[in-house]
Amino acid sequence: MLARSVLLPTCLKALPARGFACKVCAAAAPPQPKQRLNNGLEMPLFGLGTWKSKGGALETSVRTALESGYRHIDCASAYSNQDTVGKTFQEVFAEGTVARDDIWVTSKLFNKDHARVREAWPVLKPSIKETWQDMEKLVDDGLVKSIGISNFSVKKTQHLLGYARIKPVANQVELHPYFRNCATADFCQAENILITAYSPLGSNDSEQMFGREGIPKVLDDETVLSIAQDLGWTPAQVLCRWSLQHGYSTIPKSVSPQRIRENLEVVGMELPAKHFDQLNNLEFQIRMLDGNFTTGPNTPYPTINELWDGEVPEENLKRRGLVAA
């Protein structure tokens, strides 16, 4: 991704128009929702996240996802596991269950790799403009079909649009009911840049990594739990469906085959307007991944506010001692 990472989705083909049989349960999986992007290609909206997954658990999760109907896998060189994802792809494709052409693979260029766009495909020296121009060359040379951005604020996106020869197809950002990220989401939707919602379940398994102990979890939110109870869904399904129903590409991570299938079920569900609105109005807002560890005196973004161009909930600033708690 650019700036705070440039996203390199390598799209292959759109999904078949009809549904397909799930290899595991033999039932017909519903057709996958997809979105036509600003470059004319279609992206399957629901995907599997792979950050933090590794080894055998990652292999099982990618295999389960492909066999149960996922057609979009979200990766990054910074996750240090793309070799395992690739190996699993090869095995599944060789078995003939799923064809490579049917899969959308997103990969990303991490901040520190901006100077090596080609090798890293999917901090600080080259400008975002130079990095984007290198990425545009990847499209020119047929190495990827689509390019996008990640963690771009409205300000950074506007700036990039000022010089981009190829418009980003997507902006992958943190997004869930505890961080609706409205300014960026509204801006990108108006610009026909698809929003991909990362950490749609609140990224519980990165809690310790980023010292978030004690911060409320969206999966445990009382409104989410009560909606789940009303509808007979799981809380994760409520969150995934809310995101998908906004039109966002949604990429929950799981290494549990049961949860991977459970999450995908939302493509055939509908959140009633009443519940949808309740989730659109939750007061508590926080960036679970506030990137504070990347800020500091010798970085391009000395403060958290500069990092996100002011798009930081009050709660994050309080946590960082930047406003009175």
Please list, in sequence order, all residues whose beta carbon lies within 8 angstroms of the beta carbon of residue 67, skipping any fewer than 6 positions away. 22, 23, 24, 92, 97, 98
Indicate if 178 belongs to the active site. no
- Mark the segment that binds ligand NAP (CB under 6 A) among 125-133, 137-145, 163-171, 201-209: 201-209
The yes or no reply on residue 206 touching ligand NAP (CB under 6 A) is yes
DSSP H/E element including 35: strand 34-36
Task: Check if the beta carbon of residue 200 is closer than 8 Å to that of residue 194.
Answer: no
Pairwise CA distance, residues 244 & 70, whole Å: 14
Of all residues in this chain, which one has the CB nearest to ligand NAP in the complex?
49
Measure CA 125 to chain center. Answer: 26
Options 70, 79, 178, 198, the catalytic residue: 79
CB of 17 to ligand NAP, least distance (A): 27
Block residue for tokens 């090869």:
90
205 is an interface residue for ligand NAP by CB under 6 A: yes
Q: Which helix (H) or strand (E) holds 171?
A: strand 170-174
User: Least distance to ligand NAP from the beta carbon of 5, Å?
Assistant: 6
The only residue of 255, 279, 286, 312 in contact with ligand NAP, by rule CB under 6 A: 255
The CB-of-78 to ligand NAP minimum distance in angstroms stands at: 9
49 in contact with ligand NAP (CB under 6 A): yes
- Alpha-carbon span 215 to 64, nearest angstrom: 31
Residue 179, classed as helix, strand or coil, is strand
Binding of ligand NAP by 157 (CB under 6 A): no
Q: Which of 84, 245, 254, 316 binds ligand NAP (CB under 6 A)?
A: 254
> Quick one: tokens of 249?
């590409």
Which of 34, 71, 212, 253 touches ligand NAP by CB under 6 A? 253
* Alpha-carbon span 85 to 107, nearest angstrom: 11
Query: Which of 259, 275, 287, 319 is the binder for ligand NAP (CB under 6 A)?
Result: 259
Nearer to ligand NAP, 141 or 213 (CB): 213
Query: Is residue 243 close enough to count as binding ligand NAP by CB under 6 A?
Result: no
Site membership for ligand NAP, residue 229 (CB under 6 A): no
| Chain center to CA of 45 | 10
Give the length of the chain. 325
Nearer to ligand NAP, 33 or 235 (CB): 235
Strands 72-74 and 148-150: unpaired
Question: Catalytic positions, please?
Answer: 79
List interacting residues with ligand NAP (CB under 6 A). Answer: 1, 5, 49-52, 74, 108, 150-151, 172, 198-206, 219, 234, 236, 251-256, 259, 262-263, 289
